[in-house]
Chain A
Amino acid sequence: MDSPANKWKQWLAANGPRLLLFARGWSNSRHDAEDLVQEAILRMWHHQEDKGGGPPDLPLVFATIRFCGLNHHRSESRRRKREESIIYLNDFQDVWLDPVLEEDEDALLLRDAVQNLSPKLREVVVMKFWGGLTFMQISETLAISPNTAASRYRYALEQLAHELRRMKEYRHAHA
């Protein structure tokens, strides 16, 4: 029989990328995002001890990452108060998503657009599209109604479509 650690490792192998992607929205860098995932898993381990010790449901982990991220952001904000005007400095070489095909111009443009979505829209897109959560699960994770979750998702897709058109026009104009 699989040991608890092995079960969790298999679960991590299957879900690590989507958790990392979600954590990116709450972190300054890939390394910070991995720390966030690790902290969430540590909390989940203790949380699951009373529930048989198996890996947790994905919505709960997303909620925990979000919780840890909010908390971290809050403490960082305090620490950096009056020291910096920008809290999140993105390393633009350190991308959140990889295109399946090389030189997929549309995918590369959308990748930038996803990163530039507002956090509220982006987290719904990430949980729905790459996390595979239903609107009901997203609503439970974010403490919003399923209709609000669906609205945010549709609005995000509209924004992405608009941004894609705008960036393509800009590129053609400057080609």
Chain B
Amino acid sequence: MHTPDPVETILARLMPPALSDAGQREIEAMLEALAGVSAASLPAKRTAIPWLRRIVTGGIAAAGVATALVFPLASRPAPSSWAAVAPSGNSPTANPPAGMVLVSESDRIESMTDDGWQEDPDGSTMHALRLNVVEENSLLDEETGIVMQVSQPREEILLMPVSSF
């Protein structure tokens, strides 16, 4: 039977703290959104992980843009709420044409495949993962009240340094 090391006995008197209330709420809301219970809250939750968008990539924009859905908007949201999700990136919808307002934006990871080990330009060994991401933006035509959903698939390569001991 394993006899606890004296240090282990002291370590047992230390406990990891729980997630903060705000952090717990954000993750739970994300889970709800992912499960489709509260899909509308997904874009707002995504802002809580700002560097998710800054994933290291050797990214290659893969495919074109598809306009997917067009449906009438029952009631227009207040302009102040649109500003909260205004784009900051360089996507095609970052600067929507006059009369169009960006209502929401999201990035969805569709699939992830292991590309094995690769060598970066510095000669370091890296573990590569290939991600298929779909960026989805909703644009509101102010004149007609129609919302268009624009989907843009892209491919990203995530590189992780391989460490040794």
Contacts and interface: CB of A to CB of B under 8 A. Distances in A.
Contact of A74 (B6, B49, B112, B161): B161
B131 to A, nearest CB: 9
B7 A160 contact: yes
B interface, by DSSP: helix, strand, loop or mixed?
A: mixed
A interface, by DSSP: helix, strand, loop or mixed?
A: helix
Interface in A97-129: 97-101, 104, 106-107, 110-111, 114, 120, 125, 129
Sorting the interface of chain B by its residue count into under 10, 10 to 19, 20 to 34 or 35 or more gives: 35 or more
A4 B36 CA distance: 10
Contacts of B160: 67, 70-71, 74
A30 B52 contact: no
Nearest to A143: B162
Sorting the interface of chain A by its residue count into under 10, 10 to 19, 20 to 34 or 35 or more gives: 35 or more
A99 B50 CA distance: 32
24 contacts: A5-B34, A12-B31, A17-B16, A20-B18, A20-B23, A31-B20, A34-B20, A34-B23, A35-B50, A43-B112, A46-B109, A70-B161, A71-B158, A71-B159, A71-B160, A74-B56, A75-B54, A75-B56, A100-B15, A110-B11, A110-B14, A111-B14, A157-B5, A164-B10
Given A17-B18, A100-B15, A120-B165, 10 more contacts: A17-B16, A35-B48, A42-B49, A42-B52, A46-B109, A97-B15, A99-B13, A99-B15, A100-B13, A106-B10
